[in-house]
Amino acid sequence: MAALKIAHLGHPVLRMPAEPVKRVSVPDIQRPIDDMLETVQEFRQRGLSAPQVHRSLQIVIAIADTDRSSTGVPQRPLVPVNPVIVPVADWTEDTWEHCLSLPGLYGKVPRFSAIEVTAQDRQGQAIAFKATHSLARLIQHEADHLLGKVFLDRMRDLKTLTSQEECARFWVAPPA
């Protein structure tokens, strides 16, 4: 396994829809998933999508806040493959987001507070689950990458776009 190089805004892979994974359980898919998991740990992040590591595949890594040990090491990551997201709440919440592919930038982004996800797990088995609050936000953020979108595309007001330093200085402590 190896931590992977992150695609930054401007790279075409971030702006194109990702391809569905046809056969999840094959080694050609398992290796990138393992590498993505290592990359999430290396960068101490909660989420990652395959396009962010230069792979146009519909794979997401998501780690709930409550799934981190006291050392910050992820415990039980979700790996939805070919995810389909359906909002189950009528309202959205605007909260600060950042992204490995947009280093140093933060902005307020509206996201549904509750979603249902159907996907395949890394063994190719069908899964379905409900996610709320921060996990719902995280999965929506990562799934946007599968559509060729970044959080900037979802912002209601670009006046909240800020650098990490200025976010901490004038707005709030940046999110982890």
Kindly state the average pLDDT of the residues 104-112. Answer: 96
Verdict on whether the full-model pTM lies above 0.95? no
Residue 7 within any structural domain of the chain: no
Sign, CA torsion 135/75/73/37? negative
Please tell me which of 21-35, 138-152, 154-168 the model is most confident about, judged by mean pLDDT. Answer: 138-152
Residue 1 within any structural domain of the chain: no
Which residue from 15, 142, 148 is spatially nearest to 80, judged by alpha carbons?
142
CATH value at residue 127 = 3.90.45.10
Q: Are 103 and 8 in contact (CB under 8 A)?
A: yes
Catalytic positions, written as ranges:
142
What burial class does residue 65 get, using C-beta atoms within 10 Å of its C-beta: 0-12 exposed, 13-18 middle, 19+ buried? exposed
Q: Please name every residue paired with 59 in a beta bridge, in sequence order, or none if there are none.
A: 81
- For 46-75, the pLDDT digits (tens) are 999 999 999 999 999 999 875 444 444 445
Minimum mean pLDDT among 11-25, 86-100, 162-176: which range? 162-176
Residue 4 within any structural domain of the chain: no
Residue 29 within any structural domain of the chain: yes
The total of structural domains in the chain comes to 1
pLDDT for position 32: 92
**CA pair distance 2, 42, nearest whole angstrom:** 9
The whole domain housing 50 covers 12-171
Residue 176 within any structural domain of the chain: no
pLDDT at residue 142 tops 70: yes
Residue 41 within any structural domain of the chain: yes
pLDDT for position 68: 44
pLDDT for position 90: 84
